[in-house]
């Protein structure tokens, strides 16, 4: 197991496996740690020939190719800042990220490059292949220097770039590799976008542990099942909508048995999902986690506690401090809801060229913080129980305010899917002249069972939490990181595009 180490290094030092051990298994073949180290050095050597200055931004808009996996290290080694762009984004979103970041170079594919307009890349050198240069040695970068800008999915407003230092990335990798107990014989199947902090960390934490990563761009859940068998994956990370799909997919018993650990972030698991994953993968350790890009990861639940506490997001991860803060700024008591505040060395450097939004989210830590300094005020509501375990309640901007009650959409959604009438659900507050907000639910499942669902909810939820309307769909929208897209559904309600 990787020991905890509070001393960060430049992120391009992260390839820590044995030289001839596999580091990356992808379509182009398997790359050993020694070969990966050499390729990172040569990519960095090529970058320094492109007329870039230290601190310039280098963007990648690629699927999970070898170059996409190694560029975060190569850019750092060349003294540059990496800006990964989700390959699912379209031209307008990509143009915004290029302009906002001031990227000087974009590495992409011919078909993607052809979608961009001349104004989108007027000051950007577009390359459709990475060149080869002299091998650069490992960098001596200051660990507090910027290494990456990760753009949020833009579920509310335009995407904003979160600035991450070498120390942020390194300590995040050390923390995760340690508490997941990653071993050198592990194979991590990387299904999440590399532009997502959760997906990028899979590379760094695996390599720090000397384990291999098998990146996968998949079209269907069945592709994931096949890949687990093909690459001998031992570790699979996902977000709740992906777990729903994977539980609806047939798993050969011997394939399911290959997995040693499952990790979840990007949304709280429902009790029903936890029970389903434990039944389908009884031999795998399940790690429910909570995080936000501005602080990478905040909490995890030890697998030994999952069956007894399926609704919990656990305790703070190593190198993090998680506080629950009352509206008056004091510490919340056990059982008292408050804002989840993250302090410590995993806190990002703020939003790129956006001091106004930085000041809103990145503020001085509460007076009772052991770290002090700058903290991330998440806007999420959580509760800590008497044993110190945390439960996610909801985002403040997603809470439904109805008839004077503050209602967690997650609580409604969990109650809806618990009975099996629906597989997925999103609860939204919509304007109502009498209540302030009424509860609308968009859901996927058996619409013929709506009457039974309504009857069950009347028994299980108080009157003020009863949905006023249901909209059944064959599929629910997802954002580029695979999460359910609440923002688009809320906008559809506001525009009157969803029938009552």
Domain limit, last residue, from 396, 425, 453: 396
Average pLDDT over residues 116-145: 96
* Same domain, residue pair 325 and 417: no
* Same domain, residue pair 273 and 366: yes
**Mapped to the 3 state alphabet, what secondary structure does the chain carry?**
CCCCCCCCCCHHHCCCCCCCCEEEEECCEEEEHHHHHHHHHHHHHHHCCCCCCCCCEEEECCCCCHHHHHHHHHHHHCCCEEEECCCCCCHHHHHHHHHHHCCCEEECCHHHHCCCCHHHHCCCEEECCCCCCCCCCCCCCCCCCEEEEEECCCCCCCCCEEEEEHHHHHHHHHHHHHHCCCCCCCEEEECCCCCCHHHHHHHHHHHHCCCEEEECCCCCHHHHHHHHHHHCCCEEEECHHHHHHHHCCCCCHHHHCCCCEEEECCCCCCHHHHHHHHHHCCCCEEEEEECCCCCCCCEECCHHHCCCCCCCCEEECCCCEEEEECCCCCECCCCCCEEEEEECCCCCCCECCCHHHHHHHEEECCCCCCCCCEEEEEEEEEEECCCCCEEEEEEHHHCEEECCEEECHHHHHHHHHHCCCEEEEEEEEEEECCCEEEEEEEEEECHHHHHHHHHHHHHHCCHHHCCCEEEECCCCCECCCCCECHHHHHHHHHCCCCCC
* Same domain, residue pair 247 and 292: yes
Q: Which position has the higher pLDDT, 401 or 123?
A: 123
| Region of residue 251 (left: phi > 0; alpha: psi -120 to 50; beta: else) | beta
Residue 258 forms part of a structural domain: yes
Q: What is the pLDDT of residues 163-209, one digit of tens each?
A: 999 999 999 999 999 999 999 999 999 999 999 999 999 999 999 99
Whether 267 shows a pLDDT value over 90: the answer reads no
Residue 251 forms part of a structural domain: yes
Domain limit, last residue, from 355, 374, 396: 396
With bands split at pLDDT 50, 70 and 90, how would you rate the model's confidence at 157?
A: low
Whether 88 shows a pLDDT value over 90: the answer reads no
Q: What is the pLDDT of residues 214-257, one digit of tens each?
A: 999 999 999 999 999 999 999 999 988 899 999 999 999 999 99
* Same domain, residue pair 464 and 343: no
Residues in the chain: 500
Residue 383 forms part of a structural domain: yes
Whether 1 shows a pLDDT value over 90: the answer reads no
The number of beta carbons lying within 10 Å of the beta carbon of residue 436 is 14
With bands split at pLDDT 50, 70 and 90, how would you rate the model's confidence at 282?
A: very high
Beta bridge partner(s), residue 164? 148
The CATH number covering residue 458 comes to 3.30.300.30
The CATH number covering residue 350 comes to 3.40.50.12780
Q: Which position has the higher pLDDT, 228 or 406?
A: 228
With bands split at pLDDT 50, 70 and 90, how would you rate the model's confidence at 152?
A: confident
* Same domain, residue pair 422 and 322: no
Whether 500 shows a pLDDT value over 60: the answer reads no
Range of lowest pLDDT (101-105, 263-267, 337-341): 263-267
Residue 426 forms part of a structural domain: yes
Residue 165 forms part of a structural domain: no
Residue 478 forms part of a structural domain: yes
Residue 41 forms part of a structural domain: no
* Same domain, residue pair 386 and 416: no
Domain limit, last residue, from 378, 396, 414: 396
Average pLDDT over residues 324-342: 97
Strands 436-445, 146-151: pairing is unpaired
For residue 217, report the phi and psi dihedrals to the nearest 5 degrees. -100, 115
Q: What is the pLDDT of residues 283-312, one digit of tens each?
A: 999 999 999 899 989 999 999 999 999 999
Average pLDDT over residues 384-394: 93
For residue 153, report the phi and psi dihedrals to the nearest 5 degrees. -70, -10
Range of lowest pLDDT (249-263, 348-362, 440-454, 470-484): 470-484
Report the predicted TM-score, pTM, of the whole model to 2 decimal places: 0.86
* Same domain, residue pair 355 and 230: yes
* Same domain, residue pair 403 and 389: no
Q: What percent of the chain has pLDDT over 70?
A: 97
Mean pLDDT, the chain, whole residue set: 93
Residues 6+ apart with CB under 8 A from 497: none
* Same domain, residue pair 264 and 348: yes
* Same domain, residue pair 469 and 384: no
Residue 307 forms part of a structural domain: yes
Identify the pLDDT of residue 154: 46
Whether 434 shows a pLDDT value over 90: the answer reads no
Domain that residue 465 falls in: 399-494
* Same domain, residue pair 250 and 326: yes
Whether 156 shows a pLDDT value over 60: the answer reads no
Q: What is the pLDDT of residues 364-379, one digit of tens each?
A: 999 999 999 999 999 9
Identify the pLDDT of residue 400: 87
The total domain count for the chain is 2
Q: What is the pLDDT of residues 447-474, one digit of tens each?
A: 999 999 999 999 988 788 899 999 999 9
Identify the pLDDT of residue 119: 95
* Same domain, residue pair 336 and 449: no
Identify the pLDDT of residue 432: 81
The token duo for 269 is 């698991």
């Amino acid at each position: 197991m990787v020991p905890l180490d509070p001393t960060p290094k430049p992120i391009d030092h992260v390839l820590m496996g044995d030289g001839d051990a596999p580091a990356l298994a992808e379509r182009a073949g398997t790359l050993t740690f020694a070969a990966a180290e050499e390729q990172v050095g040569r990519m960095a050597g090529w970058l320094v020939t492109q007329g870039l200055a230290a601190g310039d931004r280098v963007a990648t808009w690629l699927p999970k190719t070898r170059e996409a996996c190694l560029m975060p290290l190569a850019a750092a080694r060349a003294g540059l800042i990496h800006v990964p762009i989700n390959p699912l984004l379209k031209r307008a979103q990509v143009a915004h990220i290029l302009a906002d970041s001031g990227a000087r170079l974009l590495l992409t594919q011919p078909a993607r490059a052809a979608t961009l307009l001349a104004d989108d890349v007027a000051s950007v050198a577009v390359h459709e292949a990475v060149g080869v240069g002299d091998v650069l040695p490992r960098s001596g970068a200051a660990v507090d220097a910027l290494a990456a800008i990760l753009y949020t999915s833009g579920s509310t407003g335009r995407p904003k770039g979160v600035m991450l230092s070498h120390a942020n990335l390194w300590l995040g990798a050390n923390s995760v590799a340690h508490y997941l107990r990653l071993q050198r014989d592990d194979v991590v199947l990387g299904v999440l976008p590399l532009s997502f902090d959760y997906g990028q960390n899979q590379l760094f934490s695996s390599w720090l542990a000397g384990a291999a990563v098998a990146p996968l761009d998949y079209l269907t859940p069945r592709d994931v099942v096949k890949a687990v068998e093909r690459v001998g994956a031992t570790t699979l990370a996902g977000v709740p909508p992906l777990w729903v799909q994977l539980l609806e997919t047939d798993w050969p018993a011997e394939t399911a048995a290959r997995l040693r650990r499952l990790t979840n972030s990007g949304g709280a698991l429902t009790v029903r999902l936890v029970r389903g994953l434990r039944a389908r993968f009884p031999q795998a350790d399940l790690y429910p986690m909570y995080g936000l890009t501005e602080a990478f990861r905040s909490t995890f639940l030890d697998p030994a506690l999952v069956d007894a506490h399926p609704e919990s997001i656990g305790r703070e991860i190593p190198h993090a401090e998680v506080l629950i803060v009352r509206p008056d700024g004091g510490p919340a008591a056990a059982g008292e809801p408050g804002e989840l505040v993250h302090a410590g060395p995993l806190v990002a450097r703020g939003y790129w060229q956006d001091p106004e939004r930085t000041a809103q989210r990145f503020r001085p830590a509460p007076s009772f913080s052991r770290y002090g300094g700058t903290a991330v005020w998440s806007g999420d509501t959580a509760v800590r129980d008497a044993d110190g375990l945390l439960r996610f309640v909801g985002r403040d901007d997603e809470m439904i305010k109805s008839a004077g009650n503050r209602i967690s959409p997650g609580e409604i959604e969990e109650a809806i899917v618990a009975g099996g009438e629906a597989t997925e659900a999103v609860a939204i507050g919509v304007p109502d002249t009498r209540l302030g907000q009424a509860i609308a639910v968009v859901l996927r499942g058996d619409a013929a069972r709506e009457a039974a669902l309504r009857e069950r909810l009347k028994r299980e939820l108080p009157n003020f939490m009863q949905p006023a309307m249901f909209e059944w769909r064959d599929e629910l929208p997802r954002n580029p990181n695979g999460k359910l897209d609440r923002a688009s559904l809320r906008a559809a309600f506001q525009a009157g595009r969803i029938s009552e």
